[in-house]
Chain A
């Protein structure tokens, strides 16, 4: 088991008049090799949760274990959270806004140098990861500020990937991108998952849950509302009251409601749905 969140609560500005509990008694077990999607409405506490996974925030109550070691302990021992950050890499929402160096190579190497790697080595590694996110050599010495939004985001992701974390956490990696860039980023994340990394992805996009994830957690009002597989998720009556489920699922549901035999578990996209309609039709002919 890679990460275990145990009875975690988080309160903003505790003890003050405007104390506000963002998370209440949250427990999740994330296994090695999981593709976990964390969903929920804005302000539900999901961003706070992922920030705790790499030690940017510490739980007010409860504990988080990464590879069996509590995050509090990891951070206390080294005075810093570097150890933890090597295990869990976090890509923030709109990460393109964190770029600042003159060249892309330098920017990607920033984290490596912070972790004590020497410059030459760090630049080499940075180049490797720039290529990996799908940008070519011509980008190495360009300024990050002249790139398009989608390209900048890839550079930012490369900056975290270069740290080679075993678990990669991404907070809404597709927000604000057009369909093409969205697809590129998602396919890339999928390839990282296939390489054996644990992926944790915060999203509003239910298509991602349907297409890529094997584990989904829904947070509502700071509490876990659902924890299970995507199949169970889309069958859950309560879930669709909180969030919008993909059109293909809701269409499959209305077909099923009419009395057409559709197994929602097997609906992935339009094609798989149509196959089931054909099956049903041939049974009735």
Chain B
């Protein structure tokens, strides 16, 4: 059984042009999937549809084989956590610890156990020292780390990151990407869906679902997607640096087709002399 199955999903805001038109894909349990597309491709609407925050005009979403409907939404939502783009607008508690507590309180988590759970996850994201800080005293990256702690504290099977790094500076972005990397190692069962327009983030995923004008234009591994220059161009994206270099080196005769890292390519160039 697939973890997530989306079939012919359609959605439009009130009377406007549809933003999602016939979207279908599948995601396996434990996969780290990037949903990649430029702004306006409908990918952020998709996050809200998956979470049941919006109702599709047509099509179906299945989580663990169960269809997402008005009646099943609350139980299905318990399996998923969503981290949004804007660090400020998802910080609900007045302090770091109270923000992590917010979701737990909603699930009627027992008060006596809350403290331990909150601090376990704050430690995981490296924010335990800031437990009593207010959001105005935190950087964007720190707020996003708190949001991730709040999402993980709910013990989700699926974590959706909706452009979670796009409003951060390079330092904040690096912090979050490193955190996601360590999360995957520690919890291989967790299914992670990262919705992004940053090709460098998508580089490390198991699978990329390329979305364009509300449709899936291609599903494949990063290798399959990024070595196809026409595809990248057509989807208004940029090629990640490593693929650019690999192609350019290949063109001047270096055998770098199987190189997985820049360091390997440096070695190949050096040894060829």
Residue ranges of A at the interface with B (Cβ–Cβ < 8 Å): 41-43, 148-150, 175-181, 204, 243-244, 247-248, 251, 254-255, 258-260, 270-271, 273-274, 277-278, 281, 284
Contact = CB atoms under 8 A, between A and B. Distances in A.
A41 B171 contact: yes
Given A41-B171, A254-B263, A281-B273, A177 B241 contact: no
10 closest A-B pairs by beta carbon, nearest first, are A247-B241, A178-B39, A178-B38, A284-B273, A274-B248, A258-B270, A42-B169, A179-B238, A180-B236, A178-B197
A42 B171 contact: yes
Interface in B6-65: 38-40
B270 A260 contact: yes
Contact of A271 (B140, B248, B270): B248
Contacts of B267: 258
A42 B138 CA distance: 12
B269 A270 contact: no
Given A251-B241, A274-B248, A277-B269, A181 B169 contact: no
B241 A42 contact: no
A180 B41 CA distance: 13
A281 B249 CA distance: 12
B232 to A, nearest CB: 10
A220 to B, nearest CB: 12
Chain B interface size range: 20 to 34
B257 to A, nearest CB: 16
A123 B236 CA distance: 34
Given A181-B39, A204-B169, A260 B269 contact: yes
Chain A interface, >50% SS class: helix
Given A179-B38, A204-B170, A248-B241, A274 B262 contact: no
Given A41-B171, A254-B266, A281-B273, A177 B39 contact: yes
A152 B90 CA distance: 24
A165 B237 CA distance: 34
Output the residue of A42, A178, A244, A247 with the most chain B CB within 10 A.
Answer: A178
Interface string B69-86: 000000000000000000
Nearest to B200: A247
Contact of A43 (B139, B167, B237): B139
B241 to A, nearest CB: 4
Interface in B162-184: 166-167, 169-172, 174
Chain B interface, >50% SS class: helix
A41 to B, nearest CB: 6
A278 B248 CA distance: 11
B73 to A, nearest CB: 30
A217 to B, nearest CB: 17
Interface string B226-267: 000000000011100110110011011000000000110011
Contact of A255 (B39, B244, B266): B266
B238 A278 contact: no
A247 to B, nearest CB: 4
Nearest to A94: B167
Contacts of A248: 241
A279 to B, nearest CB: 11
Contacts of A43: 139
A251 B242 CA distance: 10
Contacts of B170: 204, 243-244
B270 A259 contact: yes
A212 B262 CA distance: 25
Contact of A274 (B197, B236, B252, B270): B252
Contacts of B169: 41-42, 204
Given A148-B39, A178-B38, A255 B269 contact: yes
Given A42-B140, A243-B170, A259-B270, 15 more contacts: A42-B139, A42-B169, A149-B39, A176-B166, A179-B197, A204-B169, A244-B174, A251-B266, A260-B270, A270-B244, A273-B245, A273-B248, A274-B249, A277-B252, A281-B273
7 contacts: A149-B39, A150-B39, A178-B38, A247-B242, A248-B241, A258-B270, A273-B245
Interface in B209-241: 236-238, 241
Contacts of B269: 255, 258, 260, 277
B272 A180 contact: no
Given A176-B166, A247-B241, A148 B40 contact: yes
B226 to A, nearest CB: 14
A20 to B, nearest CB: 12
B237 to A, nearest CB: 6
